[in-house]
Structure formats: C-alpha cells, structure tokens
Amino acid sequence: MSFKKENYYTYVEQAKDLVPGFREAYSKFNERVILDQCSKILVSNYTRNLAQLALHFGRVPHEVSVDEINAYLYRLTVHEKLSISYFKQTVFGLRYWFRLYGMEDKALQMPVIKKTETLPTVMSKEECRELFAAPRSLKHRFLLAFAYAGGLRMNELRHVKINDIDVERRQIHIRQGKGKKDRYVILSDLLSDRLPKYLSEVKPLVYLFEGLTPGVVMGERSIQYVINEALRKTNIQKEVSMHTLRHSFATHLLEDGVDIYSIQRLLGHSDIRTTIVYLHVSQVIPKVSHSPLDTLYGYKQ
C-alpha cells in the first residue's frame, strides 16, 4: 500500500470501515488528545499515521506486536523512503496510543527518536529588505514585515486582531500563543505609522490578515504562498519559510545588542535554552574594552 497521495480523512474513514475495533478505539484516542489540548496538526498527523498502520495489518495498533511494528517502520523508511518526520510522528503516535491503553512497556519499546541539533536558517538584514519590497500587494508587504517585526509564529500572526494592536503603547497582544500563553510583543514604529493606510486600503474587519471571506483568518497555505511568491521575485537562495522571519528577528535583535533574556520573553520561549541557539548564528562581537587584570592593578578605572 502506498501512503504518499491519500489524505488524512481517507485513511481514517477507511480504517473505521475496514479494521475491526478501529472506530471505537479511534474515538477514545481522539477524545483523549483533545482533552490533553494537543494541536490540531499533531492530532491529524498522529491519527493519519495510526490509521495507515491499522489498515496495513488489519488490526488496531495495540494488537500489533512490537516486532511487527519495527519491521513496518523499517520498510517505510528504507524501502518507501518516507520522511524522518513521518517516522517520528508514527512513533510518537504509537507511544501515545499504547499509554492510553495502559501498555507502558510497549510504549517504551518503540524506537528511540534522536534529537538532531541543527541551526536555524537566518536571512541578513539586506535579504529581509529585499523580501519585504518584493510583493506588489500592500497586504502582502505588510504581512511579511509584520511577522518579522514581532517575531511571530505562523498561527500567532494569523490570529492577531485589529483590537490587539495598541498603537499608543507600541505593543501587540498575542493571545494564547504556543503553550496557551499570552504575551506582548513589539509594535514597530514604522508599521505603526503605516497601519492607518493599511487599514483604510485593505479594510480588514476583525483580524489584521484575513482571507477571501471578510472576518475570517487567513489560511496557513495562503500565507506560505505569499512568502513563496515574494521569494521568487528576489535573489535570495536560502530555504526560507515564515518561521525564518522569526529566526531572523531574534538574531538581528542579538546583533543590535538586545540581551538574550529580553529576546526570550519577546519570542515566548519557556526555556532559555531554546533562545540560546541564536547565539550560534548571530554575528555578535564581544564588547570587551580591557582585561580585568588592568583594573586589578589600577591600570584602568
């Protein structure tokens, strides 16, 4: 069975119809992940991959042996050459499923997922200026600059409402960001000055960036299309996504002399170690004016 072209709903519905017990087990699994407040993307990836596994074996996942699962994962990754992200999602989904059915030992026998340490792609300031100038549409230019200016995640950008913007205090209220946390981020002076023109020309009703239907948030694919189209008009050769703008925001703040703890708060990172990675990609030159030996002996005050 090839897994590359079918969509999530097709797999789940097929498994419900063809695999004994899957409909009831899926309902229990889906209820639990919703109660645990897992993201919709995570839920769809887990259930799609688990449905594919159930269809392959004709059994619900907790009735499949560890040896069978290992052989299945090996075939998918080695012979069908599916992505490492697919492999990880399947393993994480299986662990979740097994624990739901009280099979902790089975969950622990799943393959170990090694964390890969990679540095983020960051654009230079010149590349950012080139990218922001590329779109013909005011809406698209404003969207790209706004995402960078606040260091926003994709979903945070999509859900910014007009009344979340405080022009007087130069702040944007980010509601229920990652980890269900609120925070405030910077409102750029430049964007604050250009906001009235944007609002008068684009005329959003509720959200700052709306799709074709007034009052409805802009879709993720539409936003990714905006950046891809802008990139085509530039000479930028890097692999760039919307998240690259967030990486660039953090790195450029470091290079401008902002301390790492302030950047942590602006990005909404719960762990400083997540923010520290930007120290490895920023071009920060330590500002050391003298050796402490000189002050020790009175050569410097």
The residues assigned a catalytic role are 153, 178, 243, 246, 269, 278
Give the number of residues written for the chain. 301
